[in-house]
Structure 1
């Protein structure tokens, strides 16, 4: 399993988000500072709302850049059948509906999905989603071993996951 190629793909996805966010931010800043958005009365808040949005986008941009820097410094580790789930572990799970999913435990970048990971890994790994130890599923999986089962309460239901493999 080529984790370095997978990590490069995750970083690429995050860098694509940076490009998209910078473009959106430029449009938002333009909307906040455009003379057409100058308030005409006290209830005209378009420019104010645009400035709040631009601030939120700037904070998200900074977070993604920090995530990229963190991932570039991340040391990748190989896992054996005797190891528990930890950072940089690839975890294959099966849920109650007998659906198989692959997750990659990373320190940040949660939610990033690599659609065709088999191209990068020369394996049967089709889709891979990044989990962090801070996410509910990440917390549940952390420290577990192959063949362990974890439960996760989501709203009014409980989802069970069986760990099939850790790499």
Structure 2
């Protein structure tokens, strides 16, 4: 795996997501402002509901746009054992049951999933409990977090 190519995949995915969100926001705006949706009485709320949807879609567009800018401006550095895991690092974790997962510690867009070949990579941020615990760690370090009241342990098996 190459973290530069992972960054490029994340940016490409955010560009697509932004386009989809912009089209959805435009459609919601057109619905909200269409003459057929003008309220005929106080119980006619179709126009109001459409305006709420348009506002939500506009917020989503702005969130994706901000994420895209953060990733476009992200400068990747080689992993430094002295500093440990930092934003921009690509890493592998092994759970206590032996399952492996690949993570990219990014500045935003938590939960975004991309594939590099047939490998699934999940974006996490330092705002998440796992991301917070990973900061400063290195290969071989253990990380423990509580998920739904259950304590889970992971080992950092590879960092780049």
If the length of structure 2 is used for normalisation, what is the TM-score?
0.90
The whole-number CA distance in structure 2 between the counterparts of 1:46 and 1:137 is: 42
Deviation at 1:83, TM superposition (A): 5.0
Offset from partner CA, 1:54-82 (integer Å, 9 cap, x none): 11211121121121112111110111556
1 or 2, which has the higher strand percentage? 2
Report SS of the residue matched to 2:41.
Answer: coil
Structure 2 residue aligned with 1:138: 131
Given that 1:93 and 1:100 are in contact with CA atoms closer than 8 Å, whether structure 2 keeps it comes out as yes
Structure 1 outlier segments of 4+, above 4 Å = 80-83
Q: Residue 82 and residue 99 in structure 1: after superposition, are their counterparts in 2 closer, same or farther (change >3 A)?
A: farther
From 127, 142, 147, give the equivalent of 1:154. 147
Structure 1 residue aligned with 2:95: 95
The alignment status of 1:126 with 2:139, answered yes or no, reads no
Given that 2:18 and 2:65 are in contact with CA atoms closer than 8 Å, whether structure 1 keeps it comes out as yes
The whole-number CA distance in structure 2 between the counterparts of 1:45 and 1:135 is: 38
Given that 1:80 and 1:166 are in contact with CA atoms closer than 8 Å, whether structure 2 keeps it comes out as no
Consecutive unaligned residues in structure 2, runs of 5 or more: none
Q: Does 1 or 2 have the higher relative contact order (CA < 8 Å, sep 6+)? A: 1
1:24-35 equivalences under 5 Å are 24-35=24-35
RMSD: 1.8
Deviation at 1:26, TM superposition (A): 1.6
Consecutive unaligned residues in structure 1, runs of 5 or more: 119-124
If the length of structure 1 is used for normalisation, what is the TM-score?
0.86
Given that 2:110 and 2:123 are in contact with CA atoms closer than 8 Å, whether structure 1 keeps it comes out as yes
